[in-house]
A = this chain, B = another copy of it.
């Protein structure tokens, strides 16, 4: 019930392929069920600041077993989870983090992508998650 390195590398390859297809340069991180990093790749020329963001997105998606953007909708000013980002040494709550499930629909890890507009980040993360 934990993602393997082989699966993680497959997800990174799929995400990279999508990133190239939409002409972006991404940081791509995969964490396991315990929210610990399994694999990571930073494409040449990708934003340096997105390195940490991609890892935090992956962790956030596994911490709460949902897409990071969903957490962000609830953490706005006045929202029920306002400023939840201060927990867990820093969350990232905009789109680009997605839980990864196995064929039995069990969550085995998560992917986090950062390096472009959040819609692109999400699309690349989705391509990675869908490859498992």
Given contacts A33-B34, A80-B94, A83-B85, contact A60 B49 (CB under 8 A): yes
A108, CB-defined interface residue at 8 Å:
no
| Whole-angstrom CA separation of A78 from B72 in the bound complex | 9
- A47 contact from B51, B63, B72, B117, Cβ within 8 A: B63
Quick check: is A5 within 8 A (CB to CB) of the other chain? yes
Q: Confirm or deny: A53 has a beta carbon within 8 angstroms of a beta carbon on chain B.
A: yes
Interface size class of A (residues with CB under 8 A): 35 or more
The contact of A83 among B1, B35, B44, B93, by CB within 8 Å, is B93
Query: Quick check: B48 and A36 within 8 Å, CB to CB?
Result: yes
How many angstroms between the C-alpha atoms of A56 and B83 in the bound complex? 12
* Contact A44:B4 (CB < 8 A) given known A36-B51, A78-B76: yes
Interface residues of A in 19-43 (CB under 8 A from B): 32-43
Q: Does A123 contact B (CB under 8 A)?
A: no
Residues of chain B within 8 A (CB-CB) of A94 are 80-84
